[in-house]
Structure 1
Amino acid sequence: MLDKTIHEVGADPKLYEVEHNLTSNDVTEQVIKGNVAIIKHTDDGETKIETPEKGASFEIYLKSAGSYDAANKDERDTIVCDENGFGQTKDMPYGIYTVHQTSGWEGSPLFL
């Protein structure tokens, strides 16, 4: 059963005084940074030996940016794999990143 009595709530505006604090805030945010490392190998299926894919290139960007071009410069990087198939990004802010392979050896699959 519902109570049909109307109850007044004391929410009437009243005069108040605003106090301005002149103390400076010297605390700054420290962004956690890290990098992404990739080792790219390829195998033609016959030798069953993985060969480092020298020259494979990748675009890495912060997923929330939506695309490589839309990401800020410190949230994206391009890497090219060395003779060992190894590539590593610069230090970038912590987050979830998308890795997109832009080029590789002819006939080897690109990772999108």
Structure 2
Amino acid sequence: MKEEGLCPNEVTFVAVLTACARAKLVEIGLELFQSMAGACKIHGAIVLGNEVGSRLLELQPHHCGQYVALSSIHAGVDRWGAAADIRTTMTEARIRKVPACSLIDCM
């Protein structure tokens, strides 16, 4: 789509992430999420960010990056309660973010 100059929308991203989840293509799903996480945070697209994050949590439920990215998206639009809830879920699941670890480093 990008090569043809087309801009994917939220439906396209959800469909592709669902396909990645079913095919267990974790790395491709993470790349897509990474490209969307900056966009969701910048544009305040909380609903889309949550949908994408949920799909990625299905792919890798014990990966630190998804929790941190979702929490950051919520914090970026002053939804501190939601951000705290995500961090609490992460803590309860005993998932720790390694200090100075990027999403790519945590894989």
TM-score (norm 2): 0.24
Structure with the higher fraction of residues in strand conformation: 1
Question: Whose RCO is larger (CA < 8 A, sep 6+)?
Answer: 1
Structure with the higher fraction of residues in helix conformation: 2
Larger Rg, first or second structure (1 or 2): 1
